Amino acid sequence: MDYFGYKNNVLCAEDVDINTLAKKYGTPLYVYSHRTITEHFRKIKSAFSDMPTLICYSVKANSNLTFLNVLAKEGSGFDIVSGGELYRVIKAGGDPKKVVYAGVGKTEEEIVYGIKSGILLFNVESVNELKQINNVAKKMKKTVNVGLRINPDVEAATHHYITTGKKENKFGIDIELATTLFTEARKFKHVNIKAVDMHIGSQITTIEPYVKAISKIKKIIEGLNETGAKIEYFDIGGGLGVIYDEEKPSTAAMFASEIKPLFKGMNIKLILEPGRFISGNSGILVAKVIYNKKGGTKNFLITDTGMNDLIRPSLYQAYHKILPVNVNKAKLKLYDVVGPICESGDFLAKDRHLPEVKEGDLLAVRTAGAYGMVMSSNYNSRRRAAEVMVKGNNVFLVRERETMEDLTAKDKIADIR
Ligand code: LLP
């Protein structure tokens, strides 16, 4: 469910016509729907409202400051993976006391920043990281809350680049080493082991891998509790899938109804880290067709957006629906929708049927709210797109289009002779 749809044959974001937005802000343009964001947040929140749960929106999916601010106002916590993300959360008005910090490579500087900011906990991914956090905390004369991220070794049935809970992945602590590590960790006086954590992958459309992983990790917690440890939180990560094409992901309510019973009698607080579930269908990428080009075997639609704005099709062969902004009744034609970048991998869609498209027409790439703008780059010295957020019939520019000056702002011409 989202709030992008046709009204009088014109694609709208909530109550605003996309043609108007493209005219005013130019293309390529990311357009977000406020209502889609808040409704998805509320759906997951209410599905878990009958047990103590903290929803920590995963900042990596879309870290625009307004996006974060909207969620902070909804009471969301945040899942971060870098000092930069922590900076954004604080700047956007997020509460550091609701921040959980994962990632395999936290630097000393980032750990200091996290401790100083008073985050809820660090989700630790290795023994050496645990030692490092303990040392930093000691120097700062603090005791820091940590969770141990356990790699449960389960198959998440998604693209292999975004599977994270298998033995061969770099994430988390091997499940067989976890119990020993917990015992050892007691030696560290400046860390307080408060949580166990997992994140098994992304764009997961079935509940079964979660049930498997949670059941495995639950056994560890039960064992630990017998030794007198006090595990307060179980962070089950993110990964809930969304609809790009014909997927049938579980709804928040279905997910909750299978997950909650697993925690019966456990006296534990739950943490969830949804990213794509909240942001995926909250955004589209609007582009203009620059040229129609007949190739040897293909019809190319060359647009003014490409892999520098949305890399998912190139990187994961990901499918994104493409819609004409203005409905036309022309007959369907087979196209490759591509960008202007000098790479054959620069495409948005291959072999896609669209009603015949003319130069100057606007297209909307759907489900671009997650892992879109955040993975963009300046490749080919292209300026990053503008971003707007729509609420009802109000439009807010939430990131300006980059300028030529922005492109070179950090470069220096060294005086080399
Ligand atoms: N928590 C942790 C520790 C994560 O690593 C991630 C995502 C999430 C939560 C949020 O996952 P989500 O709910 O959004 O699935 N660039 C890829 C996705 C990479 C996901 C990385 N980790 C893509 O475009 O599909």
Q: CA 213, 84, 198: angle at the middle one, nearest 5?
A: 5
Q: Quick one: pLDDT band at residue 63, thresholds 50, 70, 90?
A: very high
> Residue 228 pLDDT more than 80?
no
Strand spans (E) along 34-106: 53-58, 77-80, 99-101
Domains, the chain, with CATH or none: 4-32+280-402 (2.40.37.10), 102-274 (3.20.20.10)
The pLDDT mean for the chain works out to: 95
pLDDT (tens digit, 9 = 90+) per residue, 274-326? 999 999 999 999 999 999 999 999 999 999 999 999 999 999 999 999 999 99
Q: Quick one: pLDDT band at residue 182, thresholds 50, 70, 90?
A: confident
Q: How many residues does the chain have?
A: 417
- Section 240-253 average pLDDT: 96
Distance, in Å, from the CA atom of 35 to the CA atom of 67, rounded to the nearest integer, reads 11
Q: Quick one: pLDDT band at residue 181, thresholds 50, 70, 90?
A: confident
Q: How much is the pLDDT for 319?
A: 98
Q: How much is the pLDDT for 174?
A: 87
Q: How much is the pLDDT for 315?
A: 97
Q: How much is the pLDDT for 247?
A: 94
Q: How much is the pLDDT for 372?
A: 98
Distance from residue 290's CA to the centre of ligand 1 (Å):
33
Q: How much is the pLDDT for 26?
A: 98
Q: How much is the pLDDT for 191?
A: 95
Q: How much is the pLDDT for 168?
A: 82
From 40, 43, 60, the mutation candidate for ligand 1 (largest count of ligand atoms within 8 A of CB) is 60
Q: Enter the pTM of the model.
A: 0.97
Residue 70 DSSP label: H
Distance from residue 352's CA to the centre of ligand 1 (Å):
27
Instruction: Give the position, in ligand 1's atom list, of the atom nearest the Cα of 280.
Output: 14
Distances (CA, A) of 5 to 245, 249, 357, 379: 16, 21, 19, 32
Q: Which of 141, 246, 294, 342 is catalytic?
A: 342
Q: How much is the pLDDT for 183?
A: 81
> Residue 137 pLDDT more than 80?
yes
The tokens describing 12, both together, are 């709208």
Residue nearest to atom 7 of ligand 1 (CA): 202
DSSP 192-206: EEEEEE---BSSB--
Q: How much is the pLDDT for 240?
A: 97
Q: How much is the pLDDT for 220?
A: 87
Q: Quick one: pLDDT band at residue 176, thresholds 50, 70, 90?
A: confident
Regarding the beta carbon of 275 and ligand 1, being less than 6 Å apart is answered yes
- Section 71-93 average pLDDT: 98
> Residue 130 pLDDT more than 90?
yes
Residue 90 DSSP label: H
Give the rounded percent of residues in the chain with a pLDDT score beyond 90: 88
Distance, in Å, from the CA atom of 377 to the CA atom of 326, rounded to the nearest integer, reads 29
At 93, which amino acid appears? G
Instruction: Mention every residue, 6+ apart, whose C-beta is less than 8 A from residue 308.
Output: 339, 341, 376, 377, 378, 379, 380, 382, 384
Burial 357-376, CB ≥16 within 10 A → b, else e: beeebbbbbbbbbbbbbbbb
> Residue 149 pLDDT more than 90?
yes
State yes or no: is 342 an active-site residue: yes
- Section 23-28 average pLDDT: 98
> Residue 248 pLDDT more than 80?
yes
> Residue 163 pLDDT more than 80?
no
Regarding the beta carbon of 277 and ligand 1, being less than 6 Å apart is answered yes
Q: Quick one: pLDDT band at residue 195, thresholds 50, 70, 90?
A: very high
Distance from residue 393's CA to the centre of ligand 1 (Å):
31
